[in-house]
Amino acid sequence: MSSERPHRTVLVVDDSALMRTVISEVIGRFAQFTVIGTAVDGEDALTKVHALDPDIVTLDIEMPGLDGLAVLGYIMSESPRAVVMLSGADTEGQVSATLRALELGAVDFVHKPQAAGARQVTEIEERLHQALAAAAVVNLRGVSMLARPVFVPKRGAEARGGAHAALVIAASTGGPRALAEVIPMLPASLDAVVIVVQHMPRGFTAGLADRLDTLSVLEVSEVVDGELLRPGHVYIAPGGTHCTVVATHEGPRAALHDGAPVWGVKPAADPLFASAAAVFGAHCVGVVLTGMGRDGSAGLAAVRAAGGGAVVQDRDSSIIYGMPLAALETAGADRVAPLGAVAGAAVALLARHRPVEPRP
């Protein structure tokens, strides 16, 4: 019996003839994938999804007529399958549309080059292969669409000093969708700082922070180097930069580092988790959500070794179970929870070792 992985068929959808050719040629270099057809617009895409029944669809976001978001909605409601978005994402609106696509059920996205020279094709090749590899092992049961977001008004911000407890979260493939469920479920009374590492390129994490900020009663922002980390605030590590926590006389502060990738990603969760464990000790809870690879597993072990708590997303609700499984095998967990119970489990673990506020 052959040990080779089975081929996955791919439908390439793009209104640009040049990009259809480029994407098809790049996919043609991957032994595991075969382009079964191409589509020139949204209506053509839906026709060929039904006619060709591809395993995976690469879907351009911006198209005339039915755009990528509309097509994605039809696919995920009528004939669910793995979808990888192709996004120009050079404007705030395009970034927002890409993030919404991930909430609607797209497995991943690839930043589409504006030109098709040799350098641009080389840059997209590795990223496209990563996205297709994730799509090939996606758990479609974990990819149900989120309802349209409900925007939450903020309560008046309290003047607070530095945090004395921390909730650190790791996420990769499927993470933006998972975070859109977890972060809004954190209570306004949360007395810990929340720091998130989402594997995402530079330019997208600020948009992710803005989107989560509209959904959550807590303030959400992208990390600024050196800023004081305050309780009741959610910080998103910037794409392309590692983020750690350092102790100072005023309280814990963020430190951004332009080091080498860890596990092939930057930001990586392992450096953040290890630094948070060192600063907060038992008053730290680590959470590992959906994603490929094993980032977060060593960091979660450091959190537990320091006396902190650990929550790992369960298999059934994970879009990709790689990171949660690696974390569970490496570090174990206090709770293995479905996505809808992750926030509650983390808050309960934080309450178990509630720090004592220093006297003035």
- Annotated catalytic sites, by residue? 172, 199, 295
Q: Is 17 exposed, middle or buried (0-12, 13-18, 19+ CB in 10 A)?
A: exposed
Task: Tell how far CA 213 is from the center of its chain.
Answer: 15
Assess contact for 327 and 291: CB atoms under 8 A.
Answer: no
CA distances for 242 relative to 88, 115, 167, 216, angstroms: 25, 29, 17, 24
Could you give the CA distance from residue 100 to residue 76 in angstroms, rounded to a whole number?
13
- Type of residue found at 337: A
Assess contact for 36 and 9: CB atoms under 8 A.
Answer: yes
Could you give the CA distance from residue 231 to residue 160 in angstroms, rounded to a whole number?
7
User: Which run of H or E residues covers position 35?
Assistant: strand 33-39
SS3 (DSSP) at 107: coil
